[in-house]
A and B are shown apart, each in its own frame.
Chain A
């Protein structure tokens, strides 16, 4: 019979059995999925997916417990929390959006992460340079016909305060409003606007954009601990230097100015401009302070929370999972911390973009599963080939020759049966190193025992048939008898056993890769589960457990096909 004839016979048998047909279809679909899938779904399984995001952590200010996280996919340039509980976000296109945060304002409790869609954003203004909070009020600075406009934001609407004819305002870093004056902070100069007059002061070093109005002065932070102190009444400008790194923000409370710098540095400046350095004990960039309980609550960019009171500072705690903190506020008894930037999209549940979610490192699980199904099937196929070759050869030789050869092979089979697979594979991985070869070798060295046993007993019964006896009697050589009488008779059994070995190899590969013996540079269904275990992410990320379903689909389909073909291959098993 030709190869085509065999295929036709195979398909015929499969077609007769409804379950068999289903199993065959599932296996074919899985093969198509793993081979053609990557052509359609072009996602690199190793690629770490990142994206710009705004994350809003709602924290209990007493216990510093995170109550929930809101996140929004957006590339933000700046952000300001308003006293009435909404978030103003400045996009890279100069558009200022308002994001109402009603659940936070009403003090609702929620758990977990809530994703917001960009449809909840409302456009407030365009051509905006920056938005800033100064002494409890929100100010918006925007470009207007070559001049800049200063607006106040209140109750979701803006009211124009003044238009300032400042020449080049593209380098605007911040604005301070207080004491009847407006101070614009540019890259290395400040502009004082009081009573319709503009006074520009060039300071000659970089300014951070953070300033505060305290006493009768405006204090603006600069690089390397330098502070610009502008006397609002006299227009006099002083530069002092305190012993902190680049000033990130300044705050005024209890009649003193607190200066917070990069890397956790901090100083207190008194009205007579003498200062004191305060050790904070953290290395976080201290980005924002909010009035709290008679003092200040200072938040670091990586989640440190400091409590500042008088001349002292106390580490209140640390909120894990915070990165890139930009601003924070305290409203309705809840601490709201806003961070934004480019984040790794880790542990995302299934979505249109990632149909099986992402793993701990932000890699696409579906792309991994496609590679995993392919690699697992490949490893199982190669293993089954080796196992069938060794097992069938030894089984035929032992069953046909009998005597000493048979007992030698039998002893070898018995020795193999006394070696447990997983521990043997681990030992092999210690000696060689983890990898695909180790998995294939560990399974094939041991598992031929079952094949050899089955084939041997089959050969024993075939070898005593009159046909073989007759061939021996007329003096046919051994190789001829084996090739023409034995092999054709046991081939169906060998083929069915090949499928059983594949089932075994699929499960064994998954188990071995799961304990870390498998390939390290590619994905199999077992290694995906291993990554999920090592990172601890599988306990909550259910989508990381989906490779198990694929393992089950493969093994169950193969079992059903075995069930279809077993009675055909071995008529002794046929039952009425």
Chain B
């Protein structure tokens, strides 16, 4: 098991290295001179050379590449053009904002999916169940950002119940992350994106759980349990425990989707997370910030995928043997 985990860690490292390498060469290929944003009219060739040298662009490409990789791995992702601040400190701040939305939403969504999915499998073919499955399918077929727009238009703008975006009412200056989120004002901003994200995230796993549960309910041991005379509640509880595996697989994918989906979702809710930061970096051509956000998101997804793999191999030892042999 330890060897397996170590191999996985090495895999994470190599994969991340590969992504950084791709990123470096893609950018260098497309934008040969990143200092273009610093170079203003009227600067002579000598000044340009000084700027280029201060960024290390006069060195050979392999040296730039090595330095880029080493700095990135040490957490130094350069300076943001837009904020004139280290990219890493911006990303840490925004990452916490993203997580405070995505982690509770994903957890709630999967809890809902587990219970609602089992329950709906039990109610199979009833009118209520059919309507619910149809509703969930529709929610799953719509773009998340659009559902967010509808929610804001109805609840915030039309009814005026909740703020239409942001994390705190401006002007606001946070002293720490906890100071920022431990307030009623934050809760008022948080509840709408949280609810929308939860409903959307829960839609597909609920259907997944329902399908898995329906096939479990057809198994022989369920018939036996019923025949023995266990109560309905106990039968459902037993069956749902056996049906949970597809849900766990999907949870990893869902966390990854939450990260990449945050780009559009946070833009709609003006939520100052990593996703919205990427859009800001895109509109302002802030190359270092965009690269940093992308690398961090990719790393997060690699780590989550690996964690799911490890959890799965813990649940099902055949996988562990399969990869080592």
Contacts and interface: CB of A to CB of B under 8 A. Distances in A.
A401 B264 CA distance: 40
B30 A432 contact: yes
Interface string B123-142: 00000000000000110011
Contacts of B18: 415
Contacts of B294: 423-424, 426-427
Interface string A34-59: 00000000000000000000000000
B290 interface: yes
B146 A548 contact: yes
B26 interface: yes
Given A430-B287, A516-B283, A548 B150 contact: yes
B149 A545 contact: yes
Interface stretch (A25-33, A72-80, A536-544): A536-544
Contact of A552 (B19, B141, B302, B305): B141
Contact of A420 (B31, B143, B301): B301
Contacts of A515: 263-264, 267, 279, 282
Interface in A510-540: 510-511, 514-517, 529, 533, 538-540
Interface in B215-241: 215
Interface residues of A, number: 38
B251 interface: no
A558 B220 CA distance: 35
A423 B293 contact: yes
A517 B290 CA distance: 14
A431 B279 contact: no
Contacts of B290: 426-427, 430
Contact of A418 (B144, B291, B302): B302
A555 interface: yes
Given A422-B263, A426-B282, A559 B31 contact: no
Which of A418, A507, A548 is most buried by chain B, counting CB atoms within 10 A of its CB? A418
B101 to A, nearest CB: 16
Given A422-B275, A424-B294, A430-B282, A539 B261 contact: no
Given A423-B278, A432-B30, A548 B301 contact: no
Q: How large is the interface on B (under 10, 10 to 19, 20 to 34, 35 or more residues)?
A: 35 or more
A422 B282 contact: no
Nearest to A419: B298
Contact of A417 (B153, B268, B278, B305): B305
Contacts of B152: 539
Nearest to B293: A423
B89 interface: no
Contact of B256 (A420, A510, A533, A552): A420
B97 interface: no
A88 interface: no
Contacts of A533: 149, 267-268
Contacts, number: 124
B157 A539 contact: yes
A534 to B, nearest CB: 10
Contact of A503 (B141, B150, B264): B141
A431 B27 contact: yes
B285 interface: yes
Contact of A551 (B143, B267, B279): B143
Interface in B282-319: 282-283, 285, 287, 290-291, 293-294, 297-298, 301-302, 305
Interface string B141-178: 11111100110110011000000100000000000000
Contacts of A489: none
B34 to A, nearest CB: 11
B164 A511 contact: no
Interface string B249-281: 000000010011101100110000001001101
Contacts of B146: 510, 529, 545, 548, 551
B149 A431 contact: no
A420 B305 CA distance: 12
A538 B149 contact: yes
B304 to A, nearest CB: 10
A540 B156 CA distance: 11
Given A427-B290, A432-B30, A559 B137 contact: yes
A328 to B, nearest CB: 31
Contacts of B305: 417-418
Contact of B137 (A517, A539, A556, A575): A556
A503 B142 CA distance: 10
Contacts of A431: 26-27, 29-31
Interface of A: 414-415, 417-424, 426-427, 429-432, 503, 507, 510-511, 514-517, 529, 533, 538-540, 542, 545, 548, 551-552, 555-556, 559, 575
Interface of B: 15, 18-19, 23, 26-27, 29-31, 137-138, 141-146, 149-150, 152-153, 156-157, 164, 215, 256, 259-261, 263-264, 267-268, 275, 278-279, 281-283, 285, 287, 290-291, 293-294, 297-298, 301-302, 305
8 contacts: A418-B19, A423-B297, A429-B282, A431-B31, A516-B282, A533-B268, A556-B138, A575-B215
